[in-house]
Copies of this chain bind each other. A is one copy, B any other.
């Protein structure tokens, strides 16, 4: 809290501020101030200290600290409660546990590094330190388990809108949850739910985005915002925009249902109209992806003329 105030104070001043002035304003001793400044520097805040002149904030750390993310966020639900970890096994596991223990709707788990980042179906998600956004969000919508897929689409739409606003880049979605740019994978979305047959208790939506990853550290078929823009982006700014867009779309969903979310998804989705193979458990179906249904399912017209709906699976675009 106090460190947050020191940072705020330094941010307001472009020039050096004397230790005496900060101490007086924040009502702490010079010694305590010095101690907090040291801790801030260790956290990555580049604070210059010059004798007789005082302190100056040279640059912010590239960290998703709770108070950096909260400052100016202005959401009502999403991200109002933030659990931040320098390193964690998996934000999904943590969020599922927090959800079971009653964590409020909109709570998010953030990590700078995941040691066992999760993708779909037990696959791993490569999560190098300070490079990406690794986020798990707890939602408690009053829906049936069968309606949960729409929230995956909602998250994908929000990612597209946030990246567009923060960087200008146009993003595509491959059904259901692959975030693509130039046909390379920029991010993924994973939805887990805890439910009774009659209702969802809570959902955890995991979002993994490659932001400032260097080309050499990306696996084949993957890309990052840095690789496209040739410069680092502020992860804090992007994350804040993402949380705002999720909130906008979630409120829209609660007010008007799945329809407007599906409409938005169609604008960004690149699967419709393509010939696809969808692998689901041991089976696969092949045909033309004709549309997505109002529950988020993909409608595939097979060569026999029969249209089938798939709710989840791996999609291969054939041509």
Residues of A within 8 A of B (CB): 93, 96-97, 100, 120-121, 142, 144-146, 148-149, 152, 176, 190-199, 201, 280-281, 311-313
Q: Which residues does chain B contribute within 8 Å of A193, judged by CB atoms? A: 145, 193-195
The CA of A190 and the CA of B196, in the complex, are separated in Å by: 7
Q: Cβ of B144 and Cβ of A146 under 8 Å apart?
A: no
Closest to A177 in B: B197
> A97's contact among B100, B146, B149, B312, by CB below 8 Å, is which?
B100
Interface SS of chain A:
mixed
Q: Which residues does chain B contribute within 8 Å of A176, judged by CB atoms? A: 197
Q: Which residues does chain B contribute within 8 Å of A199, judged by CB atoms? A: 121, 281
Q: Cβ of B196 and Cβ of A194 under 8 Å apart?
A: no
Q: Cβ of A195 and Cβ of B198 under 8 Å apart?
A: no
CB distance from A19 to the nearest CB of B (A): 48
Q: Which residues does chain B contribute within 8 Å of A100, judged by CB atoms? A: 93, 96-97, 100
Closest to A201 in B: B192
The CA of A192 and the CA of B146, in the complex, are separated in Å by: 14
Q: Cβ of A198 and Cβ of B144 under 8 Å apart?
A: no
Q: Which residues does chain B contribute within 8 Å of A195, judged by CB atoms? A: 145, 192-193, 195
> A198's contact among B93, B96, B312, by CB below 8 Å, is which?
B312
Q: Cβ of B120 and Cβ of A196 under 8 Å apart?
A: yes
Q: Which residues does chain B contribute within 8 Å of A190, judged by CB atoms? A: 196
Q: Which residues does chain B contribute within 8 Å of A191, judged by CB atoms? A: 196-197
